[in-house]
Amino acid sequence: MRVLVVEDDRELAGLIAEGLRDQAMVVDVAYDGVEAVTRVEHTPYDVVVLDRDLPLLHGDAVCQALVRAERLTRVLMLTAAASVEERVDGLMLGADDYLGKPFAFAELVARVIALGRRRGTRAPTVLRRGDLVVDVGRHQVRRGDRFVHLTRREFAVLVELLRADGQLVSAEELLDRVWDEHADPFSTAPRTTIKNLRAKLGPPEVIVTVTGRGYRVP
């Protein structure tokens, strides 16, 4: 799942982004409304976590721009405003959900996941291939009776390959889905990550390389 966090408080934005990345999400950050609209125009986000009180362009205007563009992106609006009327106003603008500040981070994560599921078909939370079991919700990987410790990036790559259901996933697609917008398009990071995954998962081989085209888990 790809998420854009739009929050002018840089410390809070960093905490939200890091916490969502711990849930195997790809997260970009914007610090004002203009930057948010620009990013959404160029990147298909599943969910936008949108602070309402933003500099340069108010969060209400950002939300309206998303609605007018008829994008599939879901919007979770954050605000310090606590009144029922203000929350209703936010939903009437087109936000899909509303969360007041301060908030419990666990609730934020749950709401982002729920909105991501609403964007399309619900993805399974437990993925299996032979003796390989990946529990996305618990962030656990098991090969037979052995638990496998993966880095956040390795875990996200493995999930992407399993969810492709045997179809090829190119290195470029992995960069787009698992790394953020600062990733070098010519980076060898996907290849290195696949190599590390193979070493940790052990034999028999799980990930197949199709030279020049990408990777798949049959």
What are the boundaries of each domain within the chain? 2-119, 126-216
* Terminal alpha carbon distance of the chain: 22
- Please, which pLDDT band fits residue 121 given cuts at 50, 70 and 90? very low
Cβ-contact 78, 52 below 8 angstroms: yes
**pTM for the complete prediction?**
0.62
Residue 159 has pLDDT above 80, yes or no: yes
What confidence tens digit (pLDDT) does each residue in 22-71 have? Answer: 888 899 999 999 999 999 998 889 999 999 999 999 999 999 888 777 67
pLDDT greater at residue 184 or residue 129: 129
- 70 φψ region: left (φ > 0), alpha (ψ -120 to 50), beta (else): left
- Provide the 10 A C-beta neighbour count for residue 59: 25
> Mean pLDDT, to the nearest integer, of 190-200?
94
- Please, which pLDDT band fits residue 123 given cuts at 50, 70 and 90? low
> Mean pLDDT, to the nearest integer, of 153-163?
89
Query: How large a percentage of the chain has pLDDT more than 90?
Result: 50
> Mean pLDDT, to the nearest integer, of 167-179?
85
Domain 126-216 coded CATH 3.40.30.10: no
The predicted pLDDT at position 122 comes to 46
Provide CATH code, domain 2-119.
Answer: 3.40.50.2300
